[in-house]
Amino acid sequence: MSSRLSVLLAAGSGRRMGFVKQFQKLGNRPVWKWSLETLFAAGVSRVAFIVPDDDVPLMEEALRDDPNSDRVLVAAGGNTRGQSSQRGILRLLADIAIENWQSTYICVHDAARPFLTVHDTVRVFERAEVTGAAILAQRCKDTVKEEQNGVIVRTMPREALWLAQTPQCARADWFVDAYKKCDVDCVTDEAMLLEACGRKVELVEVQSFNGKLTVPEDWKYAEWLVTEKGQSE
C-alpha cells in the first residue's frame, strides 16, 4: 500500500501581488488553510509547509490551534522554487525508512492555488501511483504566439500545448534520484526536474477551477468566487 505525502509551497515574496498572500484571509480562512485542508481530505498523511525564513515562527503560531498541526512540518524555503520544493521533500523523507521510498508518493502544491479540489488531488495521486509521476494541467484554449522584440515569429499548435498546474506528484525515490543528477535551480517545476532526468510525467486534465493567485486581478476574482459562488466553506 502506498503512502501519500505533500509539500505545500508558500515561500514566495508576493512581489507581483503587492502583499504576502498566504496569510491573507480569503473568505473565512487564510489562503494557506484552503489547500492544507484539501490535501489532508485527499488522504495525505503529512505535509511539509514551506514558508519564507522570517515567517516560520508566525506560521507555527498560526497552526497551533489547527486540528492537523501535528501532521504539519513547517520549514524555511530557499532562494528558488526548486530549492524550496527540494527542502520540503527531503524534510518529509527524513522521517521515512529508505526501504519505503518506492511506495511513497509526494505531491508538491502551490498554496497560491486555494481552489484545488479533493477530487483532482486524488486523481493526480492515483495516476502517479500507476505511472510513477503525474501533474495536474489544463489544455491550452488560446492560440499561442512566440515573439521576438514584440513581433510574432511563430504560431504554435495549441492541440499539443498544456498549462502546467499543481499538484505535481511522483515517487519519492524518483525525486531523490533527480536531486542527485539535476540542478534544481535550472527548473521551474517538479515535472521539468523529472523530465531532465529522463522520467516520463503524465498529464491529468484538471476538472475544476484551480487558478493561481499571482497578480491583484487574480485576488479580486478569487474574492468574487468566494462571495458570489459560495465557495468559502
Tell me the pLDDT tens digit for each residue of 162-206: 999 999 999 999 999 999 999 999 999 999 999 999 999 999 999
Distances (CA, A) of 86 to 6, 20, 216: 12, 22, 29
**Residue that the C-alpha cell 513581433 belongs to:** 151
What average pLDDT score do residues 25-34 get?
92
Higher pLDDT, 34 or 19: 34
- Confidence at 102, pLDDT banded by 50, 70, 90: confident
1-22 burial, b at 16+ Cβ within 10 Å, e below that, comes to: eebbbbbbbbbbebeebeebbb
Mean pLDDT score of the chain: 91
Strand residues in the chain grouped as ranges (E)? 3-9, 25-26, 29-30, 46-51, 72-76, 104-110, 133-139, 144-148, 151-156, 162-171, 202-205
Q: Which of 89, 85, 115, 105 is nearest to 188 (CA)?
A: 85
